[in-house]
Structure 1
Amino acid sequence: MRPTTPTPADPEAWNAYLAEGNARQARKRVAADVLLRDAAGRVLLVNPNYKPGWDLPGGMAEANEPPEDAVRRELVEELGLRVTVRGLLVVDWVAPHGPWDDQLAFIFDAGTLYGGAAAALRPRDGELSEADFVAPDEALRRVSDRMRRRFTAALDAVTDGRPRYLRDGVPVA
């Protein structure tokens, strides 16, 4: 005889049943970065100590943390900077690679940083060695191939106001 599936009529059994299903489902790593510009139209890049090359500011989400909250938290921790997330620019599904499982990588628009705030920006923790506003062309030279594709899609999204969905950095129609 097949056991019956609990129903919401028995909340304790129903929640245990749902928790069992939840424990078997995949978990995704989530990264969240921002595109932040200065008054001259340059973009902010950071140089992490824990990996080669430059990157957009941001980082990994903690368990059950929304991506937009993760990027705000990371910018406060790493740069002492509070930003307003103005909208989604890119979602990139990154396939498993090396020792890593797949990941969802977000880029949000953080608008423009004006005045002395841009010039005064400095790393605040041991994760970053530098932070620098650079022209978009220079940014494309400094970032990794994977980030270059994502960064280009973010610039395109700013231009036309349409977020991009990528699969390993390639636009999905």
Structure 2
Amino acid sequence: MRPIPTPADPEAWTAYLAEGNAKQARKRVAADVLLRDATGRVLLVNPTYKPGWDLPGGMAEENEAPDDAVTRELIEELGYRVAVCRLLVVDWVAPHGPWDDQLAFIFDGGTLDERAAAALRPRDEELSEAVFVAPDEVLRRVGDRMRRRFTAALDAVADGRPRYLRDGVAVA
């Protein structure tokens, strides 16, 4: 068994850390945003690459922070630079189907004025529609996983406390 390098040997130490980094698990990261209009309706988007409606956002790229990912995705897909206000939800999603586990974030994007809300429309082929709907309509349009995450996000907006979920279930 070889000795573990120390910071006293910077080259060996860096190689040791890089080896450990290469062996550690990688997490997929999704980042969405809760955007509301002046009447309290919520922005939903209809992706072309999967069934059902979703909150705007998407997957983080390699070494991209979740809040940067949601900002990038909204610029690409809706032509809008969101001002991420605060974290609402982190949901650890267990492996399912062909997918490894992931971390899914929802950030608060605040309330848009009437002009900004009216200007939002899909800007690339990934979205077919973008509409503001009442929160109860969101619950009818999104899938089970997003429904639980969305409900937790609304609770976080109401009381100012972010939520940690495991597969959509609040962790005490």
With the length of structure 2 as denominator, give the TM-score of the two structures: 0.99
Query: Deviation of residue 157 (structure 1)?
Result: 0.4
Q: Which runs of 5+ in 2 are unaligned?
A: none
Question: What amino acid maps onto 2:150 in structure 1?
Answer: F
Alignment-derived partner of residue 79 in structure 2: 80
Query: Deviation of residue 106 (structure 1)?
Result: 0.2
Query: Deviation of residue 115 (structure 1)?
Result: 2.2
Alignment-derived partner of residue 67 in structure 1: 66
Inter-partner Cα distance in structure 1 for 2:37 and 2:138? 14
2:104 corresponds to 1:105 = yes
- 1:1-173 to 2 correspondences below 5 Å: 2-173=1-172
Q: Which runs of 5+ in 1 are unaligned?
A: none
Q: Which runs of 4+ in 1 moved over 2 A?
A: none
Cα deviations across residues 57-105 of structure 1 (Å, max 9, x unaligned)?
A: 0000001100000000000000000111100000000000000000000
**3-state DSSP class of the match of 2:68?**
helix
**3-state DSSP class of the match of 1:91?**
strand
Query: Deviation of residue 42 (structure 1)?
Result: 0.2
Q: Count residues with an aligned counterpart.
A: 172
**3-state DSSP class of the match of 2:49?**
coil
Question: What amino acid maps onto 1:156 in structure 2?
Answer: D
**3-state DSSP class of the match of 1:72?**
helix
**3-state DSSP class of the match of 1:62?**
coil
Query: Deviation of residue 116 (structure 1)?
Result: 1.4
Question: What amino acid maps onto 1:142 in structure 2?
Answer: R
Inter-partner Cα distance in structure 2 for 1:146 and 1:114? 29
Inter-partner Cα distance in structure 1 for 2:2 and 2:146? 49
**3-state DSSP class of the match of 1:90?**
strand
Inter-partner Cα distance in structure 1 for 2:78 and 2:104? 20
Question: What amino acid maps onto 2:33 in structure 1?
Answer: V
**3-state DSSP class of the match of 2:105?**
strand
Inter-partner Cα distance in structure 2 for 1:115 and 1:31? 28
